[in-house]
Amino acid sequence: MEPGNDTQISEFLLLGLSQALELQPLIFGMFLSMYLITVLGNLLIILAVSSDSHLHTPMYFFLSNLSLVDICFTSTTVPKMLGNIQTQTKVITYEGCITQMYFYIHFAMLDCFILTVMAYDRLVAICHPLHYIVIMNIQLCGLLVLLSWILSAMVSLLHSLMVLRLSFCSDFKIPQFFCELNQVVQLACSDTFLNNFIIYLLIVLLGGGPFAGILYSYFKIVSCIRGIPSAQGKYKAFSTCASHLSVVSLFYGTSLGVYLTSAATQNAHSTAIASVMYTVVTPMLNPFIYSLRNNDIKRALERFFGR
């Protein structure tokens, strides 16, 4: 079997959300607005956390990392889409497609891992408040984030190398606005059994594993909250993880919706539209969820701009 880069393929075509020319200005304006809001909102979270010493805690350290990942995650797909609309082309080079796929998988997995680490942080804070500072020390926080980055990089590298071994013959049209792994693998004219096996195996292990960890953390959190005698204490404890729970529900809900839509309808256009939710909309909403429900973030931003 010849590797993919030894075949005649040099580029793919990203069909995008719609091929109607009259809709392109609307799509361009909508995605440009969402991208700018995403970058600005998440940058404000990072600035608030880094500039305010009161927010130099494990919870906000993980939140600033999540904001950085969301900026990178959106930046792997939207700028290329906007550029293609502006230049009225659908082309992405073979190398560019593999690169985009690598970073897309990398930052998607990072989102999963950091959300899981944040759930563990809330578990320790609520169930072991007296030992929180000792358990969630700076060394452990840094190690958890570093391991998340390394593991995500290894997973995305594995998927990218597996795609490089594939051969592509004639159909280079990707019914998406970015190089999505499953869509690219489906275009191959060589055997893709090993690719599909690894994709679904890693989804179960590295997708389902973190999600199970989040569910376990919240099961323990709910058990601890039920043991708090006062209603005010229960509300205060739950409010510290309400924003994180909202983001987890949004991220996993939209991701699961995309794959269920793909499996149920087999409609590539519907899948492309559904994927907008977790690739663009979710990173855009995260800063609003954390800033609107978090007085510490609000006060930090007020102090930052008050300077």
Higher pLDDT, 263 or 59: 59
For residue 1, pLDDT beyond 60: no
Confidence of residue 304 (pLDDT cuts 50, 70, 90): confident
- Rounded CA separation 262/285 (Å): 24
Q: Which residue segment(s) compose the domain that 41 sits in? A: 4-306
- By the 8 A CB rule, do 297 and 45 touch? yes
For residue 3, pLDDT beyond 70: no
For tokens 């659908």, what's the residue? Answer: 90
pLDDT in tens, 142-187: 999 999 999 999 999 999 999 999 988 877 889 889 999 988 998 9
Q: What is the average pLDDT score of the chain?
A: 87
Strands 91-93 and 173-174: unpaired
Q: Write the CATH number for 27.
A: 1.20.1070.10
Query: Which CA distances in Å does 101 have to 32, 33, 53, 128?
Result: 21, 23, 37, 40
> What are the start-end ranges of the E strands in the chain?
11-14, 91-93, 173-174
Confidence of residue 262 (pLDDT cuts 50, 70, 90): low
- Look at residue 261 in the predicted model and tell me its pLDDT: 58
- Look at residue 84 in the predicted model and tell me its pLDDT: 92
Interval 108-118 mean pLDDT:
94
For residue 258, pLDDT beyond 70: no
- Look at residue 4 in the predicted model and tell me its pLDDT: 42
- Look at residue 76 in the predicted model and tell me its pLDDT: 96
Q: What is the number of structural domains in the chain? A: 1
- Please give the model's pTM, rounded to 2 decimal places: 0.91
pLDDT in tens, 124-145: 999 998 999 999 999 999 999 9
- Look at residue 233 in the predicted model and tell me its pLDDT: 78
- Rounded CA separation 113/206 (Å): 9
For tokens 């000792």, what's the residue? Answer: 134
pLDDT in tens, 15-61: 888 888 888 999 999 999 999 999 999 999 999 999 888 889 999 99
